[in-house]
A and B are shown apart, each in its own frame.
Chain A
Amino acid sequence: METKTVETRAAPVRYLEGGAGKPLVYLHGAGGLTPGDPLLAALAASHHVFAPFLPGYGETEDCPKLRDMLDYTLHTFDVIEALGLKDPILVGHSMGGMIAAEMAAIAPHDVSRLALIAPAGLWLDDHPIPDVFSLLPFEMPAYLFHDAEAGAALMTAGLKMDDPNFLQDYLVRNARQMGMAGKLLFPIPERGLAGRLYRIKAKTVIVWGQSDRLIPPVYGLAFEAAIAGSRLVSVPDAGHMVIIEKPRAVADAIASIA
């Protein structure tokens, strides 16, 4: 994957690009994205993958101009246009899935293939989603991974925790990233998407890890019921980070709409 930059009205946008084939745009979740992401690698085997960072992620500045759901939605259309793409396969994970679903609902004729991986955006009173904004780092893996221990090892790999600047760097990065994510997800990750999902015309696949403890799989059923003709793929032995734990299964599901 190569890292590049493209200009948009809101901010310069960093993105990862790699692979060859049909163009595919991947929108990352609130935790961000690294060039070594295993799902991107799997997708790049058969697609031309573009993975833009939301401003505030990937060492970019946060963007005060992006405030609400509509801003984020239109900004992402601006990114696609700036990349010179038209109706790419649109894939989003978690927060990225929320943005992708919103785009497909707002402009149903511009999004014909949609893959939502454990998307945020709905709220079921009987199945409250844990508040990621008050979780401490060591509490995260249990919510994010099917195998929490392996997940914890993954999350801390390569971190220089004995570096005196580590805490400050961590806090700055976290504030940049989760500050931007908070505009969509805080305090409840719901901005009215439920009332707009009916507009989606895209061929849609929904992917969910069976042991997702952050956004439980029951949300997958709600998305499936709300998007006409959509198909739900349930992945065993995977949590919210199904993209890390079972990238092959996710890539196969995406291939089914391509």
Chain B
Amino acid sequence: MKFTWFNLMPWPYLPDDFREKNRSVWVDIDQRLFDPAKSHEVYNTYMDLLEYADTLGFDGIGVNEHHQNGYGIMPSPNLIAAGLARRTKDAAIVVLGNSIALYNPPVRVAEEFAMLDCISGGRLVAGFPVGTSMDTNYCYGQIPALTREKYAEAHELIIRAWTERDPFAFNGRYNKLRRVNIWPRPIQQPHPPIHIPGGGSVETYDFCIDNTYSYSYLSFTGYIRAKALMQGYWDRVAARNAPDTSPYRAGFAQTICVADTDAEAERLYAEHLHYFYNRCLHVYPGFADAPGYRTIKTIQAGALSQYAPPKGFGELTWKDLTEGGHVIAGSPETVRQRMEEMIKGLNVGNIFCLMHVGNMPAEKCMYSSKLFAEKVMPKLRGLLPECEGDGRFWCKPLAKRVTAGSLPAAARVPEHA
């Protein structure tokens, strides 16, 4: 099992009447609700929490990319990842990921990911999302019906940039480059492992299967509702005659809150879950899915945006959220049982643990994370014994890595040899 501690980095100061007074947390959110001076502490606390997760023994720490978004103040996950690469020792740096169709040219992603891999000593896990419609189309202006073609070209360019050792010309439709020759290049060979976040499109299933990439479903609605979608993926894995059904071919994001008892979990965390589902997921439905962004085949298969649920998220209670599986919360034993159901039910080896929720203060987040790491994670580790050796979807760090901050205590006249 690979457990990645994930922080979406929500803005924690959305007002109580946010939902009533604003039409969307994303794209056209009110600028005035962001306070740059307060963000100084928010950013540093969030990065501290990611670093803390490394000390707890999580396999990875994860960041992602959103734009103009009240629940994700990380337009550049690579900046955060660079800070984490310096201040952490063992955890994989999981950047899930860079929306590669948005970089001009996408060689930039090949370069920055290579830098992260070099600085971290080969700890990078690279994610290549198409990007949500909100980010890609409504914030960054990509033409919906051309987004996937542009994405596919960017992917080809990045993989070639990582793997070819001589300068090459790339005559793409969206990128014309005479000499692609990245410097630096990644430590991990042939390239860092790649995870692809998806939302149920058959094209993305096939893309992952054919390239041996891990398919990640980053859902906010939990493992019970994910069952049909993940089954669709595994059916496709079988239909395309993939050589195995290793659970590391799949990843799943799950909100998790742990306390001493179920009752304590409700008392401690209910308000933060309510903040997340009621305010952070308040997305104007007109931004959920630009026409042309999803393929016709995908719509016909019934995969719709998770950002425009028919009844909204606003009215969900603690009971709804925990019993419906949106959230796994409770005592260590309750959480362990639910996690086991999820891992076995979905056959997923990569778990993106959303341990920070909404406006949760650092103290509660540390408490919940520590309980999970000490009382839940060890009992789940042995769940997939037959696949433990499958390293295809995880990073392969250098055996000997330097420690950041190892300069001599003071400058002195160098000794000449």
Contacts and interface: CB of A to CB of B under 8 A. Distances in A.
> Which has the most chain A C-beta neighbours within 10 Å: B290, B292, B302?
B292
Contact of B296 (A67, A175, A186, A188): A175
Contact of A133 (B146, B285, B291, B302): B291
B290 A186 contact: yes
A182 B286 contact: no
Contact of A168 (B286, B292, B294, B302): B302
Interface in A140-168: 168
A60 B235 CA distance: 30
Contact of B299 (A135, A175, A183): A175
Interface stretch (B135-143, B176-184, B210-218, B254-262): B135-143
B372 interface: no
A172 B290 contact: no
Interface string A178-193: 1111110011100000
Given A67-B146, A182-B143, A187 B291 contact: no
A187 B138 contact: yes
B137 A186 contact: yes
Contacts of B52: none
A195 interface: no
B13 interface: no
A182 B285 contact: no
A134 B28 CA distance: 11
Interface in A64-86: 64, 67
Contacts of B287: 134
B294 A175 contact: yes
Nearest to A30: B291
Contact of A62 (B137, B145, B284, B302): B145
B75 interface: no
> Which has the most chain A C-beta neighbours within 10 Å: B145, B149, B285, B286?
B145
Interface string A109-144: 000000000000000000000000111100100000
B300 interface: yes
Interface in B190-227: none
A64 B149 contact: yes
Contacts of B292: 62, 175, 178-180, 182-183, 186
Given A62-B296, A176-B296, A182-B144, A134 B138 contact: yes
B304 interface: yes
A3 interface: no
Contacts of B291: 133, 174-175, 177-179, 181-182
A179 B145 contact: yes
A69 to B, nearest CB: 12
Contacts of B296: 62, 172, 175-176
B163 to A, nearest CB: 28
A179 B299 CA distance: 13
Contacts of A172: 296, 299-300
Contacts of A176: 296
A179 to B, nearest CB: 3
Nearest to B294: A175
Contacts of A134: 138, 284, 286-287, 290
Contacts of B141: 186-188
A83 B296 CA distance: 29
A135 B286 contact: yes
Contact of B304 (A62, A171, A174): A171
Q: 7 nearest interchain CB pairs? A: A179-B292, A178-B291, A134-B286, A179-B145, A187-B141, A175-B291, A182-B292
Interface of A: 62, 64, 67, 133-136, 139, 168, 171-172, 174-183, 186-188
13 contacts: A67-B146, A133-B291, A134-B138, A172-B300, A174-B291, A178-B292, A179-B144, A179-B292, A182-B143, A182-B291, A183-B146, A186-B137, A186-B292
Given A175-B291, A175-B296, A187-B141, 13 more contacts: A133-B137, A134-B290, A168-B300, A172-B300, A174-B291, A175-B294, A176-B296, A178-B291, A179-B145, A181-B291, A186-B137, A186-B141, A187-B138
